[in-house]
């Protein structure tokens, strides 16, 4: 009870200081980074305000000063993780002109490195949350669509370049690529299969639906 009382007092003090004092953007990001590390280390269901505060080296009240509540902080962590995954993937894919290389790069960047892949683990931690959190569900839907859009763009580019003869509509095939990625990602992160096995599955599917030999590497 004493610990709870101290947190309540700290929150009240923090709220009193909040008026008229701008929030430091870097400190706010430091809190999000600490929450990200806590999620990866402990698992989303085990993360508490105190564990985030300890990781950030702050009081619980200071954490709440920057985000208001733990749910808002965790959603921000998820949003940043999604954005980082997509931006990095898009940049790597679009550095190639040849659609065959773009498709190979798309496959390579969609698979986690292994059980220790921090970003892959972070995003996977939020998957169960989409079942009961509308905001997380919306972000997850946008995440899936954004990845499918990358695949669809690459597939259509391959058709335009004369490399691909698609077995179905690009949008349908793109959604299936993402579904295969998601289905195998948990296997990779849990160590049940290797990254290479997941990549081989996706490359096999790519060759089947494009009637094209996809390069073994991106060069």
Distance CA 64, CA 70 (A): 7
Domains of the chain: 2-68 (no CATH), 77-210 (1.10.357.10)
pLDDT the model gives residue 22:
53
Distance CA 195, CA 113 (A): 6
Task: Encode the chain (219 residues) as per-residue pLDDT tens digits.
Answer: 344 344 333 444 444 444 444 568 999 999 999 999 999 999 999 999 999 999 999 999 999 999 999 999 999 999 999 999 999 999 999 999 999 999 999 999 999 999 999 999 999 999 999 999 999 999 999 999 999 999 999 999 999 999 999 999 999 999 999 999 999 999 999 999 999 999 999 999 999 999 999 998 886
Q: Which residues, at least 6 apart from 44, have a Cβ–Cβ distance to it below 8 Å?
A: 74, 125, 126, 128, 129
DSSP element (H, E) containing 12: helix 2-18
Distance CA(198)–CA(180), nearest Å, equals: 9
Q: What is the pLDDT of residue 186?
A: 93
pTM (predicted TM-score):
0.85
Instruction: Name every residue whose Cβ is closer than 8 Å to that of residue 104 and which is 6 or more positions away in sequence.
Output: 203, 206, 214, 215, 217, 218
Judged on CB neighbours under 10 Å (0-12, 13-18, 19+), 60 is buried
pLDDT recorded at residue 216: 86
């Amino acid at each position: 009870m004493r610990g709870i009382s101290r947190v309540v007092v700290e929150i009240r003090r923090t709220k009193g200081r909040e008026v008229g004092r701008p929030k430091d953007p870097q400190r706010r990001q430091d809190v999000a980074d600490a929450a990200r590390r806590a999620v990866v280390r402990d698992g989303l269901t085990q993360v508490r305000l105190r564990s985030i505060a300890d990781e950030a080296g702050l009081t619980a009240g200071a954490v709440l000063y920057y985000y208001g509540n733990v749910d808002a902080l965790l959603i921000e962590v998820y949003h940043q993780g999604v954005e980082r995954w997509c931006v990095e993937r898009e940049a790597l894919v679009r550095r190639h002109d040849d659609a065959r290389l773009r498709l190979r790069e798309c496959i390579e960047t969609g698979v986690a490195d292994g059980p220790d892949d921090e970003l892959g683990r972070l995003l996977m931690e939020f998957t169960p949350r989409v079942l009961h959190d509308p905001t997380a569900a919306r972000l997850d839907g946008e995440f899936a669509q954004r990845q499918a859009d990358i695949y669809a763009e690459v597939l259509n580019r391959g058709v335009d370049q004369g490399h691909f003869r698609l077995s179905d509509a690009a949008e349908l095939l793109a959604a299936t690529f993402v579904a295969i990625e998601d289905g195998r990602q948990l296997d990779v992160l849990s160590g049940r299969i290797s990254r290479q096995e997941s990549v081989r599955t996706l490359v096999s599917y790519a060759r089947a639906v494009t009637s094209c030999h996809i390069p073994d590497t991106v060069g």
